[in-house]
Structure 1
Amino acid sequence: MKKNVIVSLADANYFPLLNELIDSIKSFKESENTAICILDAGLTENQKEILYKKVDEIKSAEWDIEVPAFKVKGKEWLKSQVSRAFLPNYFPNYEKYLWIDCDAWVNDWNAINLYFKACEDGKLGITQTMGPGYRVMSKVNWIFGKIASIKSQNFKHAIKSKIGLANARKLAFAPHINIGVFSLEKNSTGWKSWQKNLEQTLKSGNIFGSEGLAINMSVYIDDLETEFLPLNCNWIASNLLPKFDEIENTFVEPFLPNYKIGIMHLAAGIWDGDKDMRIDKDVKIEILSLQNNSISKSLRFGL
């Protein structure tokens, strides 16, 4: 019986990315002891037939917290903003859960080991969106040269979600936590904290981003015990491009000591004009190699 599970979600449009994520997981022999489960937010029957040959379970994602229909507007993939906070309800037969967004893929199994280790004893395993090379952490509009109007991601979402000014201020300059990759044990109190906060953020705020704000509240307001993992465990390429090691044929961090990227995450897209690499697999960008060459590369798995 497999004790650990990796879970993701996709609709029909993001199926190619989901399929690549699964292939990246299964490219490691260690994956044989880890279950893969999928939440279906609008996959076609043909797509599910392909997935059934590769994964352990597929369940239909639901609105685990009631959301007004006008907010949904037919975008079933928005269920990912709710259902990921209820993973033990969907797949109850596992002890540790690792969520990976479908627009991410596994480049180094050590990152998977770290996430499953990080969530022991009820802790949340997650990565803050900050690290060497990040030049802007929060946007601020300066008024009269001295007065600042805060535009940080946490603060903006907190104000819109009406969680209270005192709580919004606690989040204003807290390092943002990306919820695209995280781990929790089945019996962790983190699930209840997250669900409680998610109910609050969904009442007034947008669906998209609500789950991220809720987990930031759990960490920075509820003081959920958290194991913060290094940036290469959830490398958001739109924030900072990686480098490529031509000798080892792998993506690495752009600064010394050039650690290997564990999980490559294409959140927010990698753009060439109006073309997003997540949608158009032919999109390539110029990145530097460790061998000081400029090379044209896709950041998608296997390309």
Structure 2
Amino acid sequence: MSGGITAEMRKLTIWTTAGFSRNLVLRTYTEPASLQHAQDSLERESAALTMLSGSVVQAPELLAVDATAAHCEYPSLLMTHLPGSTVLSEAGVAERVPLLARQLVAIHAVNTDPRPREYQTMTTADTVVVPARADAEVWAAAIDVLRGPVPTYDGRVLHRDYQPGNVLFDASQDATPRITGVVDWAGASWGPTDLDVAHCSTNLALLHGPQWGARFASAYEESGGVLSENTRARQYWRVRDALACSEEGQLWSAPWREAGRVDLTPRLVEDRLDAYISMLMDARGH
């Protein structure tokens, strides 16, 4: 299966003696660089899938997990296969954005006890990679945002990698767009709704243009989602996520090109990120 960046994804078709079949998905961590985080990721995902099993969110059903490779060759997780496919094309983005927003509002409304682990962010002011053609003054100001205090927030369940590549849509070409599921819950955590909104906004800005990042945030609120009232806090979370992309933008865009978006060259993605950060610094989080 396509789509896995840190783990191998395999679709398995299981047949019974009666002739019935069932599709499953096996996530396996095989690369040395990902093995050190495999146990944590699989434990998070298995806990998240268990948490979501009684919710309205359409997520895979957990079947088995071996986070330490006690029984499998590599750390692995087995789950059900959801129908649908990811959609990254320019066509129909205006129809998909409100659906993406409503789905994220539903995720943030999930009540759970105990809570997932607190969110983590790795990017610091010292790890940001400024693109060669970027507006150095704007980026310096954006990096200074990270040096400020972390805004207070009311925590909610977060996906932490909510973006078009992890949302499945009805694959029928003639059907009205409909979300059939959300996958890749390895980063599920507890934190500010702004962080999930910021992450999807960054992805949409790179996929379709900076204006779509802002449109998604607006659609989230129009769907009943609640973001920080403080404009500085909104700016902080969106700038933080956008700057995190500076370190791994090509890691994001390579699967997009493999999925057919060959127009998303490294240069275009870099330029869109620069334009998006400039927009965030000019708009101050609105």
Q: TM-score, normalised by structure 2?
A: 0.30
When you count helix as a share of all residues, which structure comes out higher?
2
- Please, what TM-score do these two structures have when normalized by structure 1? 0.29
